[in-house]
Amino acid sequence: MLENGSEDYLSGLNPPQEEGVVNTEGPTMIIAGAGSGKTRVLTLRMAHLIRAKNVDPFSILALTFTNKAASEMRKRVESVVGTDARNLWMGTFHSVFSRILRAEASKLGYPSNFTIYDTDDSKSLIKTIVKEYGLDDKLYKPNVVYNRISSAKNRLVSWREYINNPIFKEDDASNMKPEMGKIYKTYVERCFKADAMDFDDLLFNTNVLFRDHLDVLNKYQQRFQYLLIDEFQDTNVSQYLIAKKLAAVRRNICVVGDDAQSIYAFRGADIQNILNYEKDYPELRVIKLEQNYRSSQNIVNAANSVIRNNKGQLEKSVWTANNQGELIDLIKATSDNEEGRLVASSIFEAKVNNQLKNSDFAILYRTNSQSRAMEEALRRANLKYKIIGGLSFYQRKEIKDIISYIRFVINPNDEQAMRRIINLPKRGIGPGSIEKIIVAANEHNISVWEVLQKAGGYLTGRVATVLDQFATLIKSFQLSVEKRDAFEAASLIAKNSGLLKELYEDKTVEGLSRYENVQELLNAIKEFTDDEGREDKSLGAFLQEVALLTDADNQNSDDTDFITLMTVHSAKGLEFKNVFIVGLEEDLFPSQMMLNSRADLEEERRLFYVAITRAENKLSLSYALNRYRFGRLKTCEPSRFLEEIDNSFLNIPRRTSMKSGSDSPSQSYYAKNFVNNMKSQTNRRFVKHTSHSPSKNFVPSDTADLEVGMKVEHPKFGFGKVIEIDRDGTNQKAKVDFENNVGEKTLLLSFAKLKIH
């Protein structure tokens, strides 16, 4: 143990933090607001148990969600108590429970050295089972089946319960997958026969072990005197039940989390674990860490004004003693392409004016496909960046597949492109056949394209016929490219190659994401052809431009000074001095897939809350009035979340201006680029308007009675006149011309609070 007294590690803690550290007995819930120092409290609580309470580190179990978090916490504990920290049972749920399962494997009929299948192993096995049963692999796709089985296991539904549950049977039948239960059963049996567990089994089988072997449960209940869980809001049913069983005897369980940051329902996380925690422990001690040490007052207040709209949450009031900080910039762009330019412009100007580094900035978005416009703008501005939690847009497999088709159509001598696409979608052309094509080309000193066009002269049997069909397909694409612009030709290639259809039919989260990415590529090509100042709008010209962009993506891996681009989900737990949240539009953020229930919408709002609270000093929010989607320019509405931020926290950022005469080549290039762009761009920002106080008798009217010409009152925008109503579809809208320089606003009638006067 270290010297210097037993209480020095408590210095600098605020009263709630200290309470969370020293009150170690009994069930405790530490509600930790964003930036409130929860990791410090959790690690010092463990250090206090060891140092002040003389608790054996072997009897402390700490569960986290990432190995990185576990490693960081262990180091922090070690800095206080010394090498004793290495004896803590600390790690992810999966790593800790696999350790227990290996020790007790024989109880479940497994050897101690059982194999752990990763996702690819599991999907490969599922694919084999589907094939063996002679089922349609387009219906029973590995992704779909795997996710269904995973969801069942995380809810502790065994294959026996699944098969005998009429609700599951009916659901599978309605989805044209009546054999799902049989596949689940066979999958479990084959894993067991192979002495293998998948990741979900590590939780599922730990529950089975503790359920069926009370002696084993008792052993670990006695061993772990204290149980601590980080990010408790992210636990699923299976994880919480294990923890609850382990703590049942001593009840020394401390959970740390923030319901306002519960954003992983799609992974099985159950927010009810934290919302209803007190029901399981009536004697629960609740400690609230409400002081935010990360962000400025304006950012904290803006986050609070958003999250208070959620009904399902634990009561807390996050505050900060930090300075007031800058008001939040709201950036309004005419298109997603311009949004990228404006964000890049703002970053460049902030760097020049405030002597900031690239690493001081982060751009957060709802979906990976949004990175494309941001990447292109940053590249043109010569600003270094890095995609976190995802590949660079043009490096994603589905994008490289389509680009390779385009490359091969334009240059059929491109051997690498041929290798990539010749069996996409699958045509039964294996590596052996590809090598024969290469060998024939080399032996006869001709191109691979010449071999493909006369496949019968170099290969025999079915493969020759398939190759001939492939060559015919490429020739048809070549003819189309000559007659069409880049967008029309690329759309035809994507469609007729079969790649777009294959992605469209994959309805998993991953499949939808890949399909969206291909659509985003087509959107980029559409923007390319819609550029009136561009003479050459051919597919070859677009390909050349993309090649130049992707070449600029080769950055020094040792260089840590880059702008961070990532989804909001990937950003959880991180912080940056300056944050841009982009794409704040209805159906994008909140996502159109999360508008089916209040629970879904509230998760989206929590996701926005997480995004806001990543910012330390400066926050900027942006949206586009138009965004390319499926090759069409779609009119967008600002996100409802923007309306939930109190106006007093918003600001009109001054118009971006570039100083001339810079000595920096990149700056002068950038200045010229943006000056040209800004000549035709106006009205980029929100117009800040006079604050409106609703009438005393303000009660929203039934908008079903709304008509053009009516005078209405909005609680924030004030009085206005209805000038247009669109009642087509479910998202009915009204355009209102408001007074006091507010101007025209398009409002969703299902969401807007309007009083008819």
Residues with a catalytic annotation lie at 38-39, 230-231, 261, 614
Contact of 259 with 1, CB cutoff 8 Å: no
Buried b (16+ CB within 10 A) or exposed e, 151-188: ebbbebbebeebeeeeebeeebeeeebebbbebbbbbb
Ordered DSSP codes for 517-537? HHHHHHHHHHHHHH-TT-S--
Token pair of 237 as six digits: 């049913």
Grouping H, G, I as helix, E, B as strand and the rest as coil, residue 329 is: strand
Phi, psi of 256 (to 5 degrees): -125, 130
Give the Cα separation of 379 and 215 in Å (integer).
Answer: 61
Buried b (16+ CB within 10 A) or exposed e, 695-704: eeeeeeeebe
Q: State whether the Cα torsion 363-369-370-376 is positive or negative.
A: positive
Token pair of 727 as six digits: 């009642």
Give the Cα separation of 18 and 234 in Å (integer).
Answer: 25
Where are any strands of DSSP class E within 372-440?
Answer: 385-387
SS3 content of the chain, % helix, strand, coil (to 5): 50, 15, 35
- For residue 549, give every residue at least 6 positions away whose Cβ sits within 8 Å of its Cβ, in sequence order, or none: 375, 376, 379, 394
Residue located via tokens 């002040």: 52
Q: HSE-up of 591 (CA within 13 Å, CB side)?
A: 19
